[in-house]
Copies of this chain bind each other. A is one copy, B any other.
Amino acid sequence: MSEFDVGYFQEPFKSLCASYPGTEAYDPAHFRVEWGPIFHRGRLDGSAKMLVIGQDPAQHETVVRRILVGEAGRRIQGFLGKLGVTRSYVMINTFLYSAYGNPTAKNRKNPKLVEYRNSWLDALILGKTIEGVVALGDRADEAWKMWRATPNGTAFTKTYVKITHPTQPESSSGGNHAKLEQATKKMLLNWNAGLQTLAPSMTHPDEAIPMVLYGEAFLETEKLQIPDIDFPAGLPAWMRENDGWARRVGTNEAKKRANITITVPKKNLPS
């Protein structure tokens, strides 16, 4: 038996997934609109206690059609686990489409882009049982603030924290190992502060467990596999275990943009 995500069969999510914005909201010069939108990961049935706002989907997410399923997803899964939230969460991204380079402020503030995202935030928060919200990085924080500036957002009274994006250490250290270690250490301090802010608010975790903060580096046990209930039916388990199986391959930027190459890990192939 394996669980799976039953998807977007309930309103308002069914209508939201049928009426997503395209190039009128997302400039193809700055977003990989050609791969289609990727909407969410986690519970849409009202059981979510924690809302995570990520940034944008990459190649693994494009294959799985769920967000935060790669390394960033495993790290945030570990973060939620420290709060005892193993199942009752839901995640959306700032952007529906994979960012191509750095989206400009004009792009980020496109009213059609913002309005659609706010409809998701309304659907996930208003009248629901969310006890805490976590934004991953600056873009997600900006998205949250835009929603908070709406009439619906103004009324929000639960706990909100912005934490460093889970793969910021990699993106900021440019392959320098010492810089990566330093950035990771700094991020985990920031995450520890986030955990301590959130913990008192999470009054209905899936598991009541003692809080164990991060040290100066990730332990392997602090990166968790994405649960099967977050993935569409029938996807193989290796897609949830580790990332690295999807790459954008090509001899130039245009070819890379047009490509996703999936490779089954050796250990999952018949010998």
Contacts and interface: CB of A to CB of B under 8 A. Distances in A.
Interface of A: 1-4, 6-9, 14, 17-20, 28-29, 33-39, 63, 65, 232-236, 238, 249, 254, 257-264, 266, 268-270
A3 B29 contact: no
B37 A17 contact: no
9 contacts: A2-B18, A4-B8, A4-B18, A6-B8, A6-B14, A9-B9, A33-B270, A249-B261, A257-B264
A65 B234 contact: yes
Contact of A37 (B1, B3, B234, B261): B234
Nearest to A37: B234
A69 B34 CA distance: 19
A264 B35 contact: yes
Given A4-B8, A28-B270, A269-B257, A38 B234 contact: yes
Given A7-B9, A63-B63, A262 B259 contact: yes
Contact of A29 (B257, B268, B270): B270
A261 B264 contact: no
Contacts of A28: 270
A67 to B, nearest CB: 11
A235 B269 contact: no
Contacts of A269: 34, 254, 257-258
A248 B14 CA distance: 33
A34 B236 contact: yes
Given A18-B2, A36-B234, A65-B232, A262 B261 contact: yes
A82 B242 CA distance: 46
